[in-house]
């Protein structure tokens, strides 16, 4: 599988697995775990989750799914904005680690911009790196202005900006993606196939036909 290079030169799969809405229905637990394991077998070893998903239930499911294969996975989780200050971020991260049954996260993201000063969040993230709890940190749902403020706050070590981006949500192309490219920060797209709701566009179908693939 094609890889993307993190700012610290770590290669990660270009295609990963999201886990939103997983772990919320006990009837689907076995099926969801099997799907995650199949994805790992197919090379989709980047897996993204968040403390918000299922109020922790998704991390619990993922911790079960990763039993015996954690060392094969680039594991990403996200912290609530209200938990992003020094002290709270350490407790939130530790709770995620316990649910995920791991001793570290490969990437920890601020889920969206909140009221906690960015300088305080950065300090908390860097403290987690020094403690060995996370390998790198980044942000999610930050726009161009947010990223400018992050850099001014001392956020040069930001490893990614996770954003909504697909064929129907392309606003990031205007100024955010060029900004990220200039700073050599990879963009991580969530909902890249619109959660299965891609439009039935003749243009999209034609591109898919030309490449002998499905529109998705």
Instruction: Confirm whether 216 is a catalytic residue.
Output: no
Q: Are strands 107-110 and 74-79 parallel, antiparallel or unpaired?
A: parallel
End-to-end CA distance of the chain: 17
Q: How many whole angstroms separate alpha carbon 150 and alpha carbon 160?
A: 12
Structure tokens at 108: 């920890």
H-only helix segments in the chain: 29-41, 57-65, 88-100, 118-130, 144-152, 176-182, 202-211
- For residue 19, the cross-strand partners are none
CA separation for the pair 97, 49 (Å, rounded): 12
Active-site residue set: 53
């Amino acid at each position: 599988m094609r890889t993307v290079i993190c700012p610290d030169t770590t290669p990660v799969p270009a295609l990963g697995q999201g886990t939103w809405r997983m772990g919320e229905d006990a009837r689907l637990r076995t099926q969801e775990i099997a799907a995650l394991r199949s994805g790992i077998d197919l090379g989709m070893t980047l897996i993204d989750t968040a403390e918000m998903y299922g109020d922790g239930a998704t991390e619990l499911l993922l911790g079960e799914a990763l039993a015996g294969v954690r060392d094969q996975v680039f594991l990403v989780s996200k912290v609530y904005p209200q938990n992003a200050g020094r002290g709270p971020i350490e407790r939130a991260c530790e709770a995620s680690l316990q649910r995920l049954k791991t001793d570290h996260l490969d990437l920890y993201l601020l889920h969206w911009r909140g009221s906690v000063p960015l300088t305080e969040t950065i300090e908390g993230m860097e403290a987690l790196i020094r403690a060995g709890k996370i390998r790198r940190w980044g942000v999610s749902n930050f726009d161009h202005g947010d990223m400018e403020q992050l850099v001014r706050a001392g956020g040069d070590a930001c490893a990614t900006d996770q954003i909504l981006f697909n064929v129907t949500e392309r606003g990031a192309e205007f100024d955010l993606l060029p900004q990220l490219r200039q700073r050599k920060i990879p963009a991580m797209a969530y909902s890249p196939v619109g959660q299965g709701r891609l439009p039935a566009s003749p243009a999209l179908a034609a591109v898919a036909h030309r490449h002998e693939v499905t529109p998705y």
